[in-house]
Amino acid sequence: MKTTHIAAALSCAACAIAQDFVTSKALQSLVSLDELVSGSQQLQDFAYAYPDRNRVFGGQAHNDTINFLAGVLEETGYYDVSIQSFLELYSGGNSTLTVNGAATNESLMTYTPSGTASGPLVLVNNLGCDPADYPAETEGNIALISRGECPFAAKSANAAAAGAAALIIYNNVEGALAGTLGGLGDYVPTVGTDLATGEALLSAIQNGTANAVLEVNAILENRTTYNVIAETKSGDHGNVLALGAHTDSVEAGPGINDDGSGTIGILNVAIGLTNFTINNAVRFCFWSAEEYGLLGSTYYVSQLNKSSEELAKVRAYLNFDMIASPNYAYLIYDGDGSAFNLTGPIGSAQIETLFEDYYTSAGKTYNATAFDGRSDYGPFLDVGIAAGGIFTGAEVPKTEEGQDIWGGLEDLAYDENYHQAGDNIFNLALDAFLFNTKLVAHAVATYATSFDSLPMPTSMTKRSVELSKVKRQAYNGGHGSHGKHHCQSKHEAVMR
């Protein structure tokens, strides 16, 4: 995927002929579907080279991804590439559940302890949020509780206090239940299951025949992982455009749309940019451990925030997380707050307008998606940096209106393989992938030329940041199921 553009960049650097100044049209013309596909294939090959077939942070396939990105960018000679390491607690593993001898659907909760339990299932009263909900026969047995009212962690801690050997939480709405206990604690081995399975288990208990064996093999370990940051050697380093995508997947699959699409999209723009001269420096950021709570971008911004001088250099941050969903929509982060009343730092509205104008000029219809900080732009919002980005949808079903606008299928999720093994190269919308990568090129060319369309941050910025942060937190706590970003399912699942 790198040969032609890199060769051009290297040969031009070697021959010292002045490069053309970047334009949107010229940079867009270098975006090629072949390279997007071959780059995606490369990421999938990394995942499939190992038995786990994923690219979770700190795993071998993820480290291969990091090395690949750093190597390609370094090889251009156009970027200063740095690898930023940080340490985070990893949680993974697997579990099995049999009830009356039949294998049953379940998945382990993030941060669950390991353990094996066997015996009758015991139905807990109410929603298990009150220690008094647990009957005496919970002791030594496997508790069963519906999702709802309080965090999973509270249910697991209550079950532990009641002497349960393990806990099964079933969903209170359709769909699998993948949740997190939010961190380490005094918990019993805890798994989640879907509503239909939960109802079957309830029936079995009522029939007096629910003998279960639950085995949880959890991996809990500190892992070192890495962000890759590549900044153009040329351009004004006091006025930087930053943009990013995340390099890690969830455990269930290779993560080729989420977020291989963003990773390979911005990488191809980075390679194309090496053919041009620019005014403003461009910083390409490849984040690790997004899937565990925006850990890489959060760490990066925490380091940046130690120096107000370094912070002030970043004029804007653009995020690209899932840009080729198979049943896609064209969604733009609502930076001006017009649709979701969550306004970003000064400049965010203008970034939204840039993307809107791009779709409009191409004759495409877009919609807004909540600017709620549930991907790697969140930490940038928190320090008052103007931000924006696009998204093609995750687990939320497309509406009839959406089908009329963008085609595809109504009532089917934008990405039915979201966080699944099927998030692979065969399930990318290549037309959206190509179009949105050209949009990335347009934004990079625009801001690498000039930030004139963005207002300068003022002394009022800090105050407006604080206000918007409070509003976003209220939004995230109060609206669990908008499903505007995949991280949401994890965050929502912590809450109830």
Q: Which residues are catalytic?
A: 290
User: How far apart are CB 321 and Zn ion at their closest, in Å?
Assistant: 4
Using the minimum distance from each CB to Zn ion, give the nearer residue, 239 or 325: 325
Using the minimum distance from each CB to Zn ion, give the nearer residue, 347 or 373: 373
CA-to-CA distance for 296 and 292, rounded, in angstroms? 9
Closest by CA position to 327, among listed 425, 257, 429: 429
User: How far apart are CB 434 and Zn ion at their closest, in Å?
Assistant: 20
Using the minimum distance from each CB to Zn ion, give the nearer residue, 64 or 258: 258
User: How far apart are CB 328 and Zn ion at their closest, in Å?
Assistant: 14
Q: What is the DSSP string of 305-370?
A: TT-HHHHHHEEEEEEES----TT---EEE-TT-TTTS---STTHHHHHHHHHHHHHHTT---EEE-
For residue 292, how many C-alpha atoms fall within 13 Å in the half-sphere facing its CB? 26
Q: What is the DSSP string of 374-418?
A: -STTHHHHHTT--EEEEE---SSBPPHHHHHHH-S-TTSBTTTTT
Using the minimum distance from each CB to Zn ion, give the nearer residue, 229 or 250: 250
Which amino acid is located at 408 in the chain?
G
Cβ-based neighbour number of residue 86 at 10 Å: 18
Give the residues lining the site for Zn ion (CB under 5 A).
258-259, 321
User: How far apart are CB 376 and Zn ion at their closest, in Å?
Assistant: 8
Is 272 in contact with 441 (CB distance < 8 Å)? yes
Contacts of 269 (CB under 8 A, 6+ apart): 27, 31, 437, 440, 441, 444
Q: What is the DSSP string of 27-41?
A: HHHT--HHHHHHHHH
Name the token pair of 6: 């890199």
Cβ-based neighbour number of residue 184 at 10 Å: 12
Using the minimum distance from each CB to Zn ion, give the nearer residue, 231 or 321: 321
Closest by CA position to 122, among listed 216, 217, 201: 201
Closest by CA position to 316, among listed 239, 246, 419: 239
User: How far apart are CB 249 and Zn ion at their closest, in Å?
Assistant: 9
User: How far apart are CB 17 and Zn ion at their closest, in Å?
Assistant: 40
Is 374 in contact with 476 (CB distance < 8 Å)? yes
User: How far apart are CB 86 and Zn ion at their closest, in Å?
Assistant: 18
Which residue(s) pair with 228 in the sheet? Answer: 83, 286
DSSP summary character for residue 297: H
Using the minimum distance from each CB to Zn ion, give the nearer residue, 128 or 326: 326
Q: What is the DSSP string of 174-207?
A: SS----B--S--S---EEEE-HHHHHHHHHHHHT
Using the minimum distance from each CB to Zn ion, give the nearer residue, 64 or 259: 259
Using the minimum distance from each CB to Zn ion, give the nearer residue, 88 or 336: 88
User: How far apart are CB 413 and Zn ion at their closest, in Å?
Assistant: 15
User: How far apart are CB 375 and Zn ion at their closest, in Å?
Assistant: 6
Q: Is residue 161 within a helix (H) or strand (E), and if so which, with residue range?
A: helix 152-161
CA-to-CA distance for 258 and 55, rounded, in angstroms? 11
CA-to-CA distance for 146 and 201, rounded, in angstroms? 11
User: How far apart are CB 489 and Zn ion at their closest, in Å?
Assistant: 11
Which residue(s) pair with 387 in the sheet? Answer: 317
Using the minimum distance from each CB to Zn ion, give the nearer residue, 171 or 319: 319
CA-to-CA distance for 324 and 438, rounded, in angstroms? 12
DSSP summary character for residue 110: B
Using the minimum distance from each CB to Zn ion, give the nearer residue, 88 or 258: 258
